Amino acid sequence: MDFDIKKIRNDFQILSQQVYGKPLVYFDNAATTQKPQCVIDKITEFYQKYNANVHRGVHFMSAKCTEANENARNIVKNFINANHSHEIIFTHGTTESINLVASSFGDRFITKDDEIIISELEHHSNIVPWQLLCERKQAKIKVLPFNDKGELIIENLETLISKKTKLITLNHVSNSLGTINPIKKIIELAHSHNIPVFIDGAQGVQHQEVDVKELDCDFYAFSGHKIFAPTGTGVLYGKEKWLEQMPPYQGGGDMIDIVTFENTTYNELPFKFEAGTPNYVGNIAFGKALEYVNSIGIENIAKHEKELLDYGTKKISQIENLTIYGNAKNKTSVISFLINGIHPYDAGMILDKLGIAVRTGHHCTQPVMDHFNIPGTVRASFAFYNTTEEIDILYEGLLKVVKMFNS
């Protein structure tokens, strides 16, 4: 398909509105993405016509929702090229997927004095659940550092690995710096030591092709809302061999086989990990969002976003006293920056009044900010529906910010 930006933007009505009388420039896509009309329509369609709880009903509408929910699972499976649809667990998002593994894998496989390696680039969601696990089990966290460009120092990994290492966990892409981590290389190295690898893909899947079979990762987690799907949806991919061995995460309806007061047996995968009524309408719309991404083509998305990144980096670098944080060779469309003497929050507030939505602060990556000894950054993050004209507006906006602070 041709990449027709005008047509694409028409699918996202929200982008054509004005805020404070200015055309909206939405550059907060790493926090959440906008939803195409087909996704919004899918939600409406199911609530208008078919809504009924899944898995338990014999009637028409329940069967319809059940089928659509399982079809969505299959779409996810194909999207990341998993072996089986039962390796796809629906969750509320990346955070829940990480907590699920930290709790369940942790209960089964982590014991006193074991070690988990995480990277210094992680979102708090991929730090705190492992810390809680390590506190519970008296295990230990080791940290793989990054250099000042924002690239992981892979050569250090071998020295961090020991006989006690039970898991390596890191993100595919850093949300605050945009670094694309060499996860395939890390997975290969980890596997040569028989260590499984968990990938936080919250910023990965929406920017590039992800093939879990090719990567050979043991787990891969992502959030629906960051890939044009509704909030409250997410995925945990896990290799069957791990999921089969892991105990349930939460107890409740659907995750059981037979319940008596003496003993309970559990449902098969993936339902063992999906206690209670799932967000089936959300999941169905999630499937639609992935079909939409497929219709544009992830390679077209990657190409356009790379153009935006290159254009934006060049343009914004022209501003005096501006420092970009995160200059990795492999980057997604995220530009994190600071202008000397201007607090990121102040810059963000002024840009907001100009209709430009950026994020300011530590982006839930305080260790990354500590590395650079800064309180936070201004982050502009682009999606495939953004344009170079919008980057020009950001540039003009930043000139105004500078002028206001200099006067």
* Residues belonging to the active site: 364
List Cβ neighbours of 339 (8 Å cut-off, separation of 6 or more).
319, 321, 322, 323, 347, 378, 398, 401, 402, 405
Does residue 175 touch ligand PMP according to CB under 6 A? yes
Q: Please, which residue, 81 or 231, has the CB nearer to ligand PMP?
A: 231
* Contact positions with ligand PMP (CB under 6 A) in 57-96: 93-95
Token output for 269: 């995968």
Q: How far apart are the first and last CA of the chain?
A: 49
CB of residue 93 to ligand PMP, shortest distance in Å:
3
Percentage helix, strand, coil, to 5, in the chain? 45, 20, 35
- Binding to ligand PMP by CB under 6 A, coded x per residue (else -) over 218-247, reads -----x------------------------
CB of residue 123 to ligand PMP, shortest distance in Å:
4
For 373, half-sphere exposure in the C-beta direction (CA atoms, 13 angstrom radius) is 1
Token output for 114: 């074991």
CB of residue 349 to ligand PMP, shortest distance in Å:
21
Number of residues that bind ligand PMP (CB under 6 A): 13
Q: Please, which residue, 76 or 354, has the CB nearer to ligand PMP?
A: 76
Q: Are 55 and 254 in contact (CB under 8 A)?
A: yes
Does residue 123 touch ligand PMP according to CB under 6 A? yes
CB of residue 62 to ligand PMP, shortest distance in Å:
29
Q: Are 326 and 336 in contact (CB under 8 A)?
A: yes
* CB environment 105-126: b (16+ within 10 A), e (fewer): bbeeebeeebbbbbbbbbbebb
Among 171, 206, 233, 386, contact with ligand PMP (rule: CB under 6 A): 171
Quick one: DSSP state of residue 13? G
Q: Please, which residue, 290 or 350, has the CB nearer to ligand PMP?
A: 290
- Binding to ligand PMP by CB under 6 A, coded x per residue (else -) over 193-212, reads -------x-xx---------
Name the residue with tokens 């008296």. Answer: 138
Does residue 99 touch ligand PMP according to CB under 6 A? no
- The candidate with the shortest Cα–Cα distance to 12, out of 45, 34, 43, 39, is 34
Cα gap 227→201, rounded to integer Å: 11
Q: Please, which residue, 70 or 120, has the CB nearer to ligand PMP?
A: 120
- Binding to ligand PMP by CB under 6 A, coded x per residue (else -) over 330-369, reads ----------------------------------x-----
Window of 121-129, 210-218, 340-348, 390-398 that interacts with ligand PMP by CB under 6 A:
121-129
CB of residue 65 to ligand PMP, shortest distance in Å:
24
Window of 119-127, 340-348, 376-384, 387-395 that interacts with ligand PMP by CB under 6 A:
119-127
Residue at 97: amino acid letter: S
**Max CA pair span of the chain:** 75
Residues that bind ligand PMP (CB under 6 A): 93-95, 123, 125-126, 171, 175, 200, 202-203, 223, 364
